Structure 1
Amino acid sequence: MPEHSRLTPVAVMILATLREGDMHTYELVRLLRERKDDRLVPLQKGTIYHTVARLERDGLLAEVGVDRHGNRPERTTYTLLDAGRQAVEEWVRTELPQIERAADFRVALAEAHNLERDEVVALLDRRRALLVASAHEHRTGLDGAAHRGVPDQFMVEVQRQAALLDAELAWQDALRARLVDGSLAWGPDEIPEHLTKNSVSKETTP
């Protein structure tokens, strides 16, 4: 199985979506777009098809059939292998606690539901420690600059980052509280049926 670091965010989202059931690449693209996942990763068809082929070569997913409906081109259906499931989980475990790669963190957060509630809390606690340290560093820098008489016009970016870190801490603490007290539904058993891939009729696919 390839190391998680070899997975791109697009690959992670493809594998994570296949956890919901077998599907062909066209359906996979449609579902990702329907869920507005292009907010997180580019969803060009060429990239998706190339990534699916690479994931198959790497032994993370496998072909389970080819079908044709009417005049449509043949469509290959893929299934997620255990190695692919494990690769998603390991990638999320690595990216969820970090604060340096914002784009990867957003994907990890979107796929955090693939991990158990308690593990997500523990990973976010690790991230919180990094956020606190970074916020303290920025505040110390701002205090030092003010003491030296550095004009505010040179510090506006640092001021912005300090404010963003404070907001991120407040948001994450609120998320943690919901995870801990159980008010946030978590895991596949708590997903409403109408929001799952299996609830969408394949007959509606153009």
Structure 2
Amino acid sequence: MKSSRDQLTPMGVMVLALLREGDMHPYEMVRLMRGRRDDRLLTITNGTLYHTVARLQRAELIAEVGVEREGNRPERTTYTLTRSGAENLVGWLRRELTSIDRPSDFRIALAEAHNLERDDAMQSLRIRRAALADACAQLSDGLRDAREKSVPEQVLVEFERQEVLLDAELRWLDSLLSRLEAAAFPWGPHAFENTDRYLAQRKAAQQ
């Protein structure tokens, strides 16, 4: 079987994360993703989602559990997350949370990081922090060396911007880790499932 990196696209990760919340059909998935503004992170189309669902089913990461039809509505196939799907989701999240060279995938991983247990998420984010700190130190050393060699400032502006962004992410990451260390900060795959807002959102998406 292919590795999870080969199998999973960002849309695939989103689908697996949704099914971790419970069995659902693609129509509900689309409505939930749009309602949660996941279109900030990736392009959401019915065609792409249905294609993704088919690929995940062939890879045995999800499985069909029923077909229903109400009134004049078209048939809706409901899917469930398999054990392999759950394992691949967790593995992908761990890998992309620690990686600093794929920023678009990191945004997806961060959006779905609550699918990891608290200690698991913190461990991955600490690994990321160490890699970011190393990258930031190397960039600062490179800028200092370039200035000592009288490299024109006009060609260094992009490096300066990257240094500022890395420093800002490190400060944000420290803040997030501090919040995660506090038990009062809700976290985990089941932290919000019983809230009125969540239940209302799921009910609306099913209609």
TM-score norm. by structure 2 comes to 0.93
Between Structure 1 and Structure 2, how many residues are aligned?
A: 205
> Is residue 2:47 matched to residue 1:61?
no
| Superposed displacement of residue 199, structure 1 | 5.2
Pairing 1:38-187 to 2, within 5 Å after superposition = 38-187=39-188
The verdict on how the C-alpha distance between 1:115 and 1:163 changes in structure 2, with shifts beyond 3 A counting, is same
| Superposed displacement of residue 183, structure 1 | 3.7
1:200 counterpart residue number: 202
Contact kept? 1:20, 1:197, Cα under 8 Å:
no
2:4 counterpart residue number: 4
Q: Deviations over 1:84-136 (max 9, x none)?
A: 11110011111111100001111111111111111211111111111111101
Higher alpha-carbon deviation: 189-198 or 79-88: 189-198
Higher alpha-carbon deviation: 111-120 or 27-36: 111-120
| Superposed displacement of residue 204, structure 1 | 6.6
Q: Deviations over 1:115-165 (max 9, x none)?
A: 111121111111111111110111111111111112211111000000000
Gaps of 5+ in 2: none
Task: Tell me the distance in 2 between the aligned counterparts of 1:8 and 1:197.
Answer: 28
Contact kept? 1:21, 1:197, Cα under 8 Å:
no
The verdict on how the C-alpha distance between 1:200 and 1:121 changes in structure 2, with shifts beyond 3 A counting, is closer
> Identical aligned pairs, as a percentage?
51
State the superposition RMSD in angstroms.
1.7
